[in-house]
Amino acid sequence: MKVTLPGLRAVDHEFTVPLDHADPDGPTITVFAREIADPARADLPWALFLQGGPGGRSPRPTGPAHFAHIMKTHRVLLLDQRGTGRSTPVVAPASPGEPEDLAAYLTHFRADAIVADCEHIRASLGVDQWETWGQSYGGFVTLTYLSQAPSALRACHITGGLPGLDATADDVYTRTYARVRDKVTRYYQRFPGDAEKVRRIAAHLDESEVLLPDGDRLTSRRFGTLGMGLGTRDGAASLHWLLDDAWAGGRLSDAFLYEVMTATGFVGNPLYAVLHEAIYAQGAATSWAAARVMPEDFAAPEMLTGEMIYPWMFDEIRSLRPFKEAAERLAAHSGWPALYDPVRLAANQVPVAAAVYHDDMYVDAALSLETAGRVANTRAWVTNEFEHDGFRVAADRVVPRLMDMIAGRC
């Protein structure tokens, strides 16, 4: 299907790929991608956009927006990574089934499988080489791509997504808690009255049964996961105004409960929760790392949490309950293959430009810079001008800077 929007031509593509690329004659799934280009220049070289996540679909274009600068020199392929968007979705099973079967199925949705899909798509489109743009988790996928098929890549651009090459889930979450603590502290410094608001709501949830519109009980620990938004440009202000309107008389308002349900429910994106720790696993089980390494001070009602995933979520959140037993099996799974090849990356010849956000709550800047030093031909731009979402909110500054770095202009 072709669609023309102001300043943009969009073409939809669907590809049939093996569920397990090691078993090409086995079950298949569909992967969807949307090509966007300047209508007057639709034959430009290809750039592949790798979305953040895990479990996030590609952006839906309403116009050139933050792809405008890339589209000056490239046509862009927006990939709905397997299991997301219009690709064959990962949905709650219609019947309980065997949890080991679901867990085995879900092991095929990490970065290594996404890269194999990209190679299948590249061959199907007849593309010799393409450039990549990886946002957040898309940067993780990029490093796997450089490890597995570097000859397919002309240049790689990464925004807020250089992973630790051999960091375990324990390492990652230990660092993440420190950054979340800092964000929460800054949040309460900016909005001094909000700590008491959070404590009041948490106490009310502990003392009363409060139901969300979908029937889930809102617990204080689920309420605390609203801290996840503090790592974005508007996250602190958005949370402040949500709390400002929380009460309607002596009860929590319907509008507040609806917004909390939407923000914490994983509706349409269970992969984010199910695979969040697995994206760090290489040869060992994660064993619910975020829960195991949680510092004692995070038990305080006003200490919000970030993007950590906990076992209790698969009991308390409607969209995740069908995945509970499979998630337990994935947390115990120790057969995860390596995602990165440090030897190959140390000899990398593909130009890589990476924006590293100094105050990033989700991806540790120190680990990112360590990786930049271990991947040959990589240049890092460290900035505190943006939060983790710099590509989304300031593409007019971030994109040209990375392009200039690749071209050697800065």
Say yes or no to pLDDT of 405 above 70.
yes
Q: What is the pLDDT of residues 51-95, one digit of tens each?
A: 999 999 999 887 656 798 999 999 999 999 999 999 999 877 655
Distances (CA, A) of 358 to 50, 368, 373, 376: 22, 10, 16, 21
Cα–Cα distance, 300 to 202 (Å, whole number)? 10
Cα–Cα distance, 290 to 296 (Å, whole number)? 13
Amino acid, single-letter form, for residue 126: G
Q: What is the pLDDT of residues 279-307, one digit of tens each?
A: 999 999 999 999 999 999 999 999 999 89
Q: What is the pLDDT of residues 146-172, one digit of tens each?
A: 999 999 999 999 999 999 999 999 999
Cα–Cα distance, 375 to 343 (Å, whole number)? 9
Q: Is 101 exposed, middle or buried (0-12, 13-18, 19+ CB in 10 A)?
A: exposed
Element containing residue 182 per DSSP (H, E): helix 169-190
Say yes or no to pLDDT of 263 above 60.
yes
Amino acid, single-letter form, for residue 160: G
Query: Which residues are annotated as catalytic?
Result: 136, 360, 388
Residue 4 confidence class, pLDDT cut points 50, 70, 90: low
